[in-house]
Copies of this chain bind each other. A is one copy, B any other.
């Protein structure tokens, strides 16, 4: 297990998210063992994808996150947590901007195994 990086000071999640220049571009803010905490600004709809190797946790910081799932959409409000189980197809979306924290193992791509132009550069810190 690689050594995780720990910011010396507490991380203000919404503030960090506000510093990101572009939407759909996650930035790492802290690590826990081999997991990363990432913040991201989103608006509109992402692409359908899955992560066969891992669950993926979403905590909404501001706005409202919609997670489209095979059985229908789930609405996640600020202060709420939702975990998408491994292997489950999903699509994140937001009407207006939402700021999120995501938690997942280091090395997981935002598009899973779909690839394509929506794939963000991984492991960028802010």
Contacts and interface: CB of A to CB of B under 8 A. Distances in A.
A22 interface: no
A9 interface: yes
Q: Tell me how many chains of this kind the complex includes.
A: 2
A13 B80 contact: yes
At the interface, is chain A mostly helix, strand, loop or mixed? strand
Contacts of A13: 59, 79-81
A24 interface: no
Chain A: number of interface residues, binned into ranges: 35 or more
A109 interface: no
Interface string A93-117: 0000000010111000000000000
A86 B74 CA distance: 35
